[in-house]
Amino acid sequence: MSTVTPPSRLHELSADEMAIYRQLDPEQLPKHIAIIMDGNGRWAGQRRLQRFFGHQQGAESVQYVVETASRIDLPWLTLYAFSLENNLRRPETEVSFLMRLLRTYLVGNVKRMNDNNVRIAYIGRIKDLPQEVQETMQWAADQTARNTGTTLTLALNYGARVEIVDAVRDALAKIAAEQSGPLPLQELLAKLSEQHVSQALYTAHMPDPDLVIRTSGEMRISNFLLWQIAYAEIYVTERFWPDFRGLHLLQAIREYQCRERRFGGLGNPPKAKPAEPERVLAQ
């Protein structure tokens, strides 16, 4: 019998969501789920709509998924919202639209976040975003700072390789500052450890993801949390992000619980797969 106290808001799940949740082991829920939200443009293209409509619908999906995560007491949810590469490659008009959409999403959903006890945070090179966007982001973070449920982290102007470079620089600077005098470069590098880098990452305050979800069927990581997902389970669905809902989040968790996590070592044979699984990419 489970010793875990069920979340108090399970009654807010839909009937379909509850049917999936009842198949889960509450003692084995992931602590941190990271999602690569992909497929907004293709979703719009299939409907002969402009890409902007796909992004708008994708913003709606964010709140549906966040609320389901909150109802099952998921501690950490990180969403890959806007990458450094996107900033460089997308047309300027689309980037401007995404910045406006971000501000609109934050302003329009802070009350819902507070109602769901969700705290919002950010990772990435935030200081390179437009000033008015930064101000809205800070306002939303301040408005939700006292919430104690799910922490929703938006990865904005984010790239994992840049994050690692930033972390190594910061770690070396910290090591140097802790010495009584200057060290030769070789000695400084010899003192650098994985722990130093981990503690200097944008995500140092949160656990590494247990599960990475990618929508739209693409089999790649796209420079997302490369250090942190070293041993995460990976789940890929053909579903485009604008069609992704809390039900599909629970389906991904069900698949996750059928895996045998190995962390680089030997493990037991995998458990039986659930009925009608979505397409998955096993690590």
CA dist list (Å): 229 to 21, 157, 195, 211: 25, 19, 15, 8
- Evaluate whether 72 touches 21 at the Cβ level (below 8 Å): yes
- Whether residue 273 has pLDDT greater than 70: no
- Per the confidence metrics, is the pTM higher than 0.85? yes
Question: SS3 for 101?
Answer: helix
What is d(CA 21, CA 251) in angstroms, rounded to the nearest whole number?
Answer: 9
Measure the CA–CA gap between 154 and 273, rounded to whole angstroms. Answer: 31
Helix ranges (H only) for the chain are: 15-21, 40-46, 51-71, 84-89, 92-115, 131-144, 160-178, 185-191, 194-200, 246-257
| Separation CA 203–CA 2 (nearest Å) | 31
Specify whether 25 is catalytic. Answer: no
CA distance 87 to 98: 10
Given CATH 3.40.1180.10, say whether it is the number of domain 30-158+209-257.
yes
Tokens 């690590």: give the residue. 283
Q: Which of 86, 109, 116, 157 is catalytic?
A: 86
Lookup: tokens for 50? 């402009």
CB 207 within 8 A of CB 76: yes
Pairing of strands 151-158, 119-123: parallel
Can you tell me the distance from the alpha carbon of 79 to that of 84, in angstroms, rounded to the nearest whole number? 14
Confidence of residue 281 (pLDDT cuts 50, 70, 90): very low
Q: Is residue 172 very low, low, confident or very high in pLDDT (cuts 50, 70, 90)? A: very high
Residue 261: what pLDDT? 83
Say what the pLDDT of residue 270 is: 47
> Residue 2's pLDDT is what?
55
Whether residue 142 is predicted with pLDDT greater than 70 in this model: the reply is: yes
Q: What is the mean pLDDT of the chain?
A: 91
Contact 32, 265 (CB under 8 A): no
Q: Find out whether 255 and 210 touch, Cβ atoms under 8 Å.
A: no
- Given a cut of 80, whether residue 123 has pLDDT beyond it is yes
**Residue 263 in tokens:** 């962390």
Mean pLDDT of 164-170: 97
- Summarize pLDDT for 65-105 with one digit per residue, the tens: 999 999 999 999 999 998 887 665 778 888 899 999 999 99
Residue spans per domain, the chain: 30-158+209-257
Contact residues for 196 (Cβ-Cβ < 8 A; gap 6+): 171, 174, 175
Q: What share of the chain has pLDDT > 90, as a percent?
A: 80
* Mean predicted confidence (pLDDT) in 217-240: 97
Q: Which of 38, 73, 208, 210 is catalytic?
A: 38
d(CA 167, CA 204) in angstroms, rounded, equals: 10
Can you count the helices (H) and strands (E) in the chain? 10, 6
At 181, is the pLDDT very low, low, confident or very high (cuts 50, 70, 90)?
Answer: confident
Q: How much is the pLDDT for 211?
A: 98
Q: Which of the two residues, 279 and 103, has the higher pLDDT score?
A: 103
86 is catalytic: yes
The closest alpha carbon to 66, from 100, 105, 101, belongs to: 105
